[in-house]
Amino acid sequence: MTALDVAHEYFDAWNRHDPDGIVATFAEGGTYTDPSTGEPLTGQAIGEYASGLMAGFPDLNFEMVSEGQSGDNSVAVQWILKGTNSGSIMGLPPTEKTIALPGADFVTIEGDKIVSVVGYFDQKDFVEQLGLQVDGHPTARGSVSFGTAVYMNTGNRAKPGAFSITAIQSASDEDMDNIEASTEKIFRELIRMPGMIGSVTARIGGRGFTITAWADTESLKRLTRGGAHKNAMGQFFAGNLGVGGMTSVWVPERMNSMWVRCTQCGQMADAELDAGKCQCGATLPDHPPYW
């Protein structure tokens, strides 16, 4: 069996969605690495990585563009990874986007087994093809830390009567991934709760924050009665979710009016006065949500 034959077996296993078959092409201690693995994978970890990618792209397929054998024990393969993201990947819900991601693998072989696969592809291209944002920023600058945020709004433009604010500190990146998975489940329930107006959740380093606006304090009490939020609190107090954190309820002391710019005269007007009319007489546009 030539080195090319072994490489073909490897890619055939990928294209028939056979994680065990992929692992079987590797020698004992053989490694796989690409820009997303962080470190070389070996043994069953390779199969788990493949399973995760196949779950995110159930129709995954590697289309060979070119291949060549350099020496007796190495193969270079240029490919295009095609598939539709109809399953969860990176802990995110599916985007239903179809990708065509170019890349290359360099495969080293001894006998009829693979001792290493080193893959290359453009991570930015991959994320953008999924329809996700790529935001390049430093982790920290002096006393300022940077992170990411998600905003969810029900379309309710009423003034909030209460805010729930939570903060949680993670023990590791894996712990933060679990926190984010719990937050996603909570968000799915929040959007259906009467009295919920809008929510912002942020991840900054190892800390997670969520600020949710409610019509009143009675509305937010539904969070504690069951469902994903109660389960997450159980994991926090009796399990291993996070290493510290707090929950709180805030009632506004004062909330000023929402101002909106008149499309006719260009001046800011109080959206709550004069039945939605500007002083110039024009009807004001709908004001944005308070939260």
Q: Please report the domains of the chain, with CATH numbers, ordered by start residue.
A: 3-129 (3.10.450.50), 147-250 (3.30.70.100)
Confidence at residue 137, expressed as pLDDT on a 0 to 100 scale: 65
pLDDT score at 133: 63
Q: What is the pLDDT of residues 231-278, one digit of tens each?
A: 999 999 998 899 999 999 999 999 998 999 999 999 999 988 888 899
Averaged pLDDT for residues 148-172: 91
| pLDDT tens-digit readout, 211-225 | 999 999 999 888 888
What is the mean pLDDT of the segment spanning 86-101?
Answer: 87
Res 188: pLDDT: 84
User: Residue 81 carries which side chain, given as an amino acid letter?
Assistant: L
pLDDT band at 136 (very low <50, low <70, confident <90, very high): low
The region of weakest confidence among 22-36, 48-62, 149-163 is 149-163
187-202 average pLDDT score = 90
What is the tens place of the pLDDT at every residue in 43-72? 999 999 999 999 999 999 999 999 998 878
The position carrying tokens 């079987």 is 24
What is residue 272's predicted lDDT score, i.e. its pLDDT?
85
pLDDT surpasses 70 at 135: no
**pLDDT higher than 80, residue 92:** no
Cβ atoms 248, 167 nearer than 8 A: no
Q: Check residue 134 and give its pLDDT.
A: 61
Q: Give the pLDDT of residue 121.
A: 95
pLDDT in tens, 7-26: 999 999 999 999 999 999 99
Res 88 pLDDT > 90:
no
Question: Considering the chain, what is the average pLDDT of its residues?
Answer: 91
